[in-house]
Amino acid sequence: MTNVELSIDLGSKFITIFQKGIGPVLREPAIAIATQVKNRLEIRDAGYRAQSIMTGSLGGAKVISPIKEGVVVDEEMAAMMLKYFLKKILPPSVFSPRIKAIVSICSSSSGSDRRAVEKCCIKAGIKEVTLVEAPLSLLAYTGSIGGLFVDMGGGKTEIAAVTNRGIAAGCSVNIAGDAFNNAIIDKLYMHYGVKVGEFTIENLKKSALSFYLNDEGSYAVSGGGKDGSPRSLYVSAADMRDAVLPLVDDVIEVIMSVLNQTPPELAAEILRKGVFVTGGCLHIPGMLDYIEQALELPVTLLRDGENAVAIGGAKFFDNKELLGDMLGVRLN
């Protein structure tokens, strides 16, 4: 029987898979289109195929996001979606491979959250599951002995001061891409009386949101007025920046709080190296400069940040002693 070793980053918005001996093999949106078959839901499409269908007619199908804010909220659908992705990356075979996986999860996951991840992985066909907090995988990715990591994704921002003995101090907050979208939607409704859809705002945020004060462009969007009638308006970069800025300031406060809880030796290391950051939100123009000025520390965006957690997790296959030290257990 063939052994397959996978490192899986189980994120709220994307699932990323790294296969040992090959490299990154999958990064797809963590969404599925499901249809009712008799008394149960079955996945019709997942990932990018599901995302493309969302903009068209769904008929009787449902859009399902089984992972929210780093937590598995629908175990059955999460298992089916993961199985769908595994089938996509593994070649068909008479004998199913024995899959071992290191699965990177949110560091604030509770015991029940961790059990839900383990169950959905096993249901998807993974025989051996090792759960690792995502900041530990990021430390392994950098090859450093310690550092401060900020991962600002879609549903959650994780901040952790990490050494090769584990997480020294950390915190997760539900402030990230989804919260930015909601803040912009609320501002446009309150100030202009126009309700704009999340899909429109997500595209607008990616193309037009900027933290540079001299960016004063404006962009046309359409939505529904308070009376339900269609309306259009021009949204300025300043409108979006003003909506999002308080949330970013809240994240900066949490980073400072984690730094204040960090042991002196690690804090000194962080002062020398600065802060390592990753996540889609940090590609917003000007945001890194804004955070760097607020923290008065160098801020480094990790290369290949989209795959960094999965790549870092894969490093533990060849260094189980380090992983055991980080987790405080002995691994075979």
Name the phi and psi angles at 316, rounded to 5: -70, -20
Classify domain 3-141+308-327 by CATH number: 3.30.420.40
Split at pLDDT 50, 70, 90, the class of 281 is confident
pLDDT given at position 154: 83
DSSP class of residue 21 equals T
pLDDT given at position 58: 63
The sign one gets for the Cα dihedral 13, 185, 55, 304 is: negative
Q: Would the pLDDT of 181 be above 90?
A: yes
- Between 255 and 191, the more confident residue is 255
Superfamily of domain 146-175+246-301: ATPase, nucleotide binding domain (3.30.420.40)
Name the phi and psi angles at 303, rounded to 5: -70, 145
DSSP letters spanning 112-181: HHHHHHHHHHHHTTEEEEEEEEHHHHHHHHHT-SEEEEEEE-SS-EEEEEEETTEEEEEEEES-SHHHHH
- Between 283 and 252, the more confident residue is 252
Which one, of 46, 54, 44, lies nearest residue 17 by Cα?
A: 46
Where exactly are the structural domains of the chain? 3-141+308-327, 146-175+246-301, 177-243
| Mean of pLDDT values over 126-153 | 93
| Mean of pLDDT values over 92-112 | 87
Host H or E run for residue 311: helix 308-314
Q: What is the pTM of this model?
A: 0.90
pLDDT given at position 142: 92
Distance (Å, whole) CA 225 – CA 144: 52
Split at pLDDT 50, 70, 90, the class of 56 is low
Distance (Å, whole) CA 141 – CA 311: 6
Identify the CATH class of 177-243: alpha beta
Same fold, 3-141+308-327 and 146-175+246-301: yes
pLDDT given at position 332: 62
DSSP letters spanning 211-251: --TT---EEEEEEEETTS-EEEEEEEHHHHHHHHHHHHHHH
Split at pLDDT 50, 70, 90, the class of 185 is very high
pLDDT given at position 216: 76
Whether residue 26 contacts residue 85, with contact meaning beta carbons closer than 8 Å, is answered with yes
Residue 41's CB is within 10 A of a number of other CB atoms, namely 17
